[in-house]
């Protein structure tokens, strides 16, 4: 039989089309390596544009070595699934790095050189019950002997995975510390303390800034900000001359990042006259906040009974919630921003209220906000001697929903001083402005978030995340622009609702029958106990009726157990059948339909050509 005659048969045609399709796939698939179609709701398999820009901008090779004890992971299915997710993300990053990102996956088996290297890198070795250690960490290196580890990749921090990997890659670049310029209207810096007659180390947040960043303090009356500055940090700016405000304005227009702490009543400011009556000490940034898209009224403070912390207003008295002293918990902190996600509480006092300005060109993204039951109070009540916690609570009226206490700003801006002219002055930003504004300065003070060390020279113990908030904000804003744009990832959850409903139904029936059995058992035990007490220590002698009751209970117990086993078997059978149908659809039916579609299209084209030829 000739080949043309064979091809005229339908089965042979389908086989020829299938072979042709396989040949096409063999030729096309290598060329489409790295292509993907992400149909997940949260786009969890797609790198963010910020990460792609960072990877494509690498100017030197970076190697990421993933140390994963794959053989030992069999007993940890959650970790094993997360390890697959990590490897998929690493491969996706390598595909977009133009060959400058090398990925190595290493299984550090016990007593091997790989295990010794993992220990030398400082990776966390989790001891296993049967002996040995489990590793799931990552080490990044560059061509200049730079080395940074992630000791352990926690599955619970999957939302931070892309950000942490991008931050590690960015940190393996130049080793210079970011430059942070600080203007502080509060006594944060080290100074001589006349009360103790000895030097004061300054506030803990100031110490952390000095240790982790290149901190440069701005002198009073400054008229320019060095171009080397990566971040300008303003703490309670007040009484700044217009030339200084104009310098801040031009710094922001040229792409400088700003972290500003403003306050309607800075309780930690040192008064010029200690004997004068206390009065609110509001911050003042002139027209800058309005130019950046923020409305802020320094004459009001936020009150919130939901987050109010208790205080003792009288010696020996009971503690009462103070509306203006807030412990802002997880529900008040944005879970979608790197700066505030996974923090538990930020303590603040006499906080201001930030609102987006009408017509603003910047994006207004809240980081911290009060509860729905919050309201506003005039700042003047804070200095009123009669404004006790109880009096404030009685006079308080919640209205208007939550108030924004901290916000991230991004987008184009225009100058706040349009009348100023001169060579080199900008009237509009050259790119997107990036800033974080926090309407409280008291949260920076040590007393709001740390306990003093138990002994001189010891370490202060934090009881709130105020320090983390400052560090995260400074680190994020002072880093590369790509990292600032990154946010936490939504961890996708795809529960099998039908399976769970089936399981819940069976469990409810199981619990009901189990409770009935336990009640019946308790009744019998009480009857037996009564018989034993009446026997004066002798072995109880059961009557024929009691023996019949006991046999009936045992038979009932056996029957209930059979029912429970049948119920569990039926549950497993239903779930197994549903799983088999899903597998059939995903593995067999859909590919078969696709193949039939290609085959039908091929036959249609063959018949069309034959019809045209005839």
pLDDT in tens, 234-283: 999 999 999 999 999 999 999 999 999 999 999 888 776 555 556 778 99
Q: Which has the higher per-residue pLDDT, 423 or 4?
A: 423
Dist. CA 61–CA 145, nearest whole Å: 11
Place of tokens 């440069």: 216
Mean pLDDT of all residues in 411-421? 94
pLDDT in tens, 87-123: 999 999 999 898 999 999 999 988 889 999 999 999 9
Structure tokens at 534: 């009446």
Query: What are the φ and ψ backbone dihedral angles of 6, each rounded to 5 degrees?
Result: -65, -35
Dist. CA 237–CA 247, nearest whole Å: 13
Dmax over CA atoms of the chain, in Å, equals: 115
What are the residue ranges of helices labelled H in 386-534?
A: 389-395, 466-478, 481-485, 497-533
pLDDT in tens, 480-523: 656 666 555 544 444 555 555 655 555 555 556 556 655 665 66
> Among residues 380, 354, 349, 368, which one has the least CA distance to residue 444?
349
CA-to-CA dists, residue 396 to 302, 399, 439, angstroms? 11, 10, 21
Dist. CA 432–CA 361, nearest whole Å: 10
Structure tokens at 359: 């017509």
Q: Tell whether the model's pLDDT for residue 39 goes beyond 50.
A: no
Of the CA atoms within 13 Å of residue 238, those in its CB half-sphere come to 20
Contact 443, 469 (CB under 8 A): yes
Contact 260, 234 (CB under 8 A): yes
Query: What are the φ and ψ backbone dihedral angles of 555, each rounded to 5 degrees?
Result: -65, -40
Dist. CA 114–CA 112, nearest whole Å: 5
Q: Tell whether the model's pLDDT for residue 299 goes beyond 90.
A: yes
Place of tokens 């217009």: 242
Mean pLDDT of all residues in 154-162? 80
Contact 221, 245 (CB under 8 A): no
Mean pLDDT of all residues in 475-483? 75
**Region label for 424, one of left (φ > 0), alpha (ψ between -120 and 50) or beta (otherwise):** left
pLDDT in tens, 351-386: 999 999 999 999 999 999 999 999 999 988 876 666
Dist. CA 131–CA 111, nearest whole Å: 12
Question: If you average pLDDT over every residue of the chain, what do you get?
Answer: 80
To the nearest 10°, report the CA torsion of 272, 278, 283, 284: -70
pTM of the model: 0.65
Q: Sheet holding 136-142: strands in order across?
A: 101-106, 62-68, 136-142, 147-150
The partner residues of 65 in beta bridges, in order of sequence, read 104, 139
> Among residues 69, 62, 42, 258, which one has the least CA distance to residue 166?
62
3-state helix, strand, coil in the chain (%, to 5): 40, 20, 40
Q: Tell whether the model's pLDDT for residue 11 goes beyond 70.
A: no
Place of tokens 């899903």: 582
DSSP 359: T
- CA 96-97-102 angle, to 5 degrees, is 115
Residue 574 CB burial class (10 angstroms; 0-12, 13-18, ≥19): middle
Mean pLDDT of all residues in 534-558? 62
Place of tokens 């489409």: 32
Burial 134-166 (b: 16+ CB within 10 A, else e): bbbbbbbbbeeeeebbbbbbebebbbbbbbebb
Query: What are the φ and ψ backbone dihedral angles of 242, each rounded to 5 degrees?
Result: -60, -30
Query: What are the φ and ψ backbone dihedral angles of 322, each rounded to 5 degrees?
Result: -105, 115
- Of the ranges 146-150, 200-204, 224-228, 455-459, which one carries the lowest mean pLDDT score? 455-459
Burial 520-534 (b: 16+ CB within 10 A, else e): eeeebeeeeeeeeee
73 three-state secondary structure: helix
Work out the end-to-end distance of the chain between its first and last CA atoms, rounded to an integer number of angstroms.
Answer: 24
Residue 221 CB burial class (10 angstroms; 0-12, 13-18, ≥19): exposed
């Amino acid at each position: 039989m000739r080949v043309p005659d064979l091809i005229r048969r339908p089965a042979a045609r389908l086989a020829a089309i299938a072979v042709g399709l396989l040949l096409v796939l063999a030729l096309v698939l290598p060329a489409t390596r790295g292509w993907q179609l992400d149909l997940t709701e949260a786009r969890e398999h797609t790198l963010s544009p910020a990460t792609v820009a960072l990877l494509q901008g690498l100017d030197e090779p970076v190697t990421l070595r993933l140390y994963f004890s794959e053989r030992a992971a069999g007993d940890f299915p959650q970790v094993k699934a997360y390890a697959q997710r990590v490897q998929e993300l690493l491969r996706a990053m390598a595909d977009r790095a133009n060959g400058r990102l090398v990925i190595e996956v290493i299984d550090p088996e016990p007593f091997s050189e790989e295990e010794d290297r993992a220990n030398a890198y400082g990776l966390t070795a989790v001891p296993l019950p049967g002996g040995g250690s489990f590793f799931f960490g990552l080490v990044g290196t560059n061509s200049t002997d730079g080395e940074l580890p992630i000791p352990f990749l926690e599955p619970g921090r999957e939302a931070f995975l892309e950000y942490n990997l991008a931050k590690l890659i960015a940190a393996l670049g130049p080793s210079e510390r970011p430059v942070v310029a600080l203007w502080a209207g509060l006594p944060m810096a080290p100074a001589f303390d006349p009360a103790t007659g000895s030097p004061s180390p300054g506030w803990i947040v100031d110490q952390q800034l000095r240790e982790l960043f290149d901190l440069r303090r701005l002198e009073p009356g400054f008229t320019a900000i060095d171009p080397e500055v990566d971040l300008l940090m303003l703490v309670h700016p007040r009484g700044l001359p217009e030339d200084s405000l104009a310098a801040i304005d031009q710094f922001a227009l040229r792409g400088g990042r700003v972290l500003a702490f403003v306050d309607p009543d800075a309780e930690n400011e040192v008064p010029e006259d200690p004997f004068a009556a206390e009065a609110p000490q509001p911050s003042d940034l002139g027209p800058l906040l309005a130019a950046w898209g923020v409305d802020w009224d320094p004459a009001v403070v936020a009150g919130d009974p939901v987050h109010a912390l208790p205080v003792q207003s009288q010696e020996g008295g009971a503690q009462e919630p103070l509306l203006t002293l807030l412990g802002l918990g997880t529900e008040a902190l944005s879970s979608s921003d790197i700066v505030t996600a996974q923090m538990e509480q930020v303590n603040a006092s006499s906080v201001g209220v930030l609102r987006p300005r009408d017509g603003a060109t910047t994006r207004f993204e809240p980081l911290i906000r009060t509860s729905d039951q919050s309201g506003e109070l005039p700042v003047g009540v804070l200095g009123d001697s009669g404004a006790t916690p109880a009096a404030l609570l009685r006079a308080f009226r919640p209205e208007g929903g939550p108030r924004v206490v901290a916000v991230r700003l991004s987008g184009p801006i225009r100058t706040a001083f349009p009348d100023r002219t001169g060579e080199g002055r900008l009237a509009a930003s050259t790119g997107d402005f990036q800033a974080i504004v926090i309407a409280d300065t008291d949260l920076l003070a040590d007393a709001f978030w740390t306990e003093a060390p138990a002994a001189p020279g010891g370490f202060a113990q934090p009881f709130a995340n105020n320090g983390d908030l400052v560090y995260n904000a400074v680190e994020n804003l002072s880093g590369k622009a790509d990292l600032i744009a990154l946010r936490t990832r939504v961890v996708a959850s795809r529960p099998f609702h039908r399976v769970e409903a089936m399981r819940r139904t069976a469990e409810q029936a199981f619990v009901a029958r189990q409770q009935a059995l336990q009640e019946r058992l308790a009744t019998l035990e009480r009857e037996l106990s009564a018989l034993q007490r009446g026997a004066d220590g002798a072995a109880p002698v059961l009557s024929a009726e009691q023996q019949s009751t006991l046999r009936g209970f045992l038979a009932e117990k056996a029957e209930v157990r059979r029912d429970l086993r049948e119920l569990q078997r039926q549950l497993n059978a239903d779930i197994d059948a549903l799983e088999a149908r899903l597998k059939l659809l995903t593995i067999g039916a859909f590919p078969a339909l696709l193949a039939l579609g290609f085959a039908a299209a091929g036959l249609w084209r063959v018949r069309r050509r034959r019809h045209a030829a005839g």
